[in-house]
Amino acid sequence: MEQSELRSWIDHRAEMLWVCLKCLVAMIVGIALAISWGSLSDNAQLALSIAVALVGLFLWFGSHGAIMDIAAMRSDMDEGLASTTFGQQFAKAPFPVYLILNALTMLGGSVMLIIMINA
C-alpha cells in the first residue's frame, strides 16, 4: 500500500472516530437538557430509551470498526515509515486498551442516559 494512501486512510478512520465521539457528546448534552426542562411521559421515556440504545450501539459499532481498522493498518507500514518516530509510536500503540475505553465510553454513556431517562 502506498504510504500516503495509508496515512489518508488512517486520517479518514480517525475522523470517523472523532465524529462518533462528537455525536455521543451531543446526544448526552441534548438529552440532559431535554430532561432538565420537563418531565417525560412513560411512552416518551420508553421511546427515548430505545432510541438512545440504538444510537449508542450504532456509535459503538462505528467507533469500534474505526479503531480496529487503524490497528490493522499497522502491518501495512513500509520500512521507511516504520523507522520514523510516528511509525514506531504507531506500532506500539495499545489498541486493546483503546477498544476497552471505547466500549466503556460509548456503551457506558448510553446506559447512563437510559438510567437518567427512566429515573
Question: What confidence tens digit (pLDDT) does each residue in 55-96 have?
Answer: 999 999 999 999 999 999 888 888 888 888 988 898 899 999
Q: List pLDDT tens digits, range 16-29.
A: 999 999 999 999 99
Gap between the Cα atoms of 7 and 119, Å rounded: 45
Phi, psi values for residue 29, rounded to 5°: -65, -45
Range(s) of the domain holding residue 34: 3-117
The confidence band for 54, taking pLDDT boundaries of 50, 70 and 90, is very high
Q: What is the pLDDT of residue 114?
A: 93
Tally of domains within the chain: 1
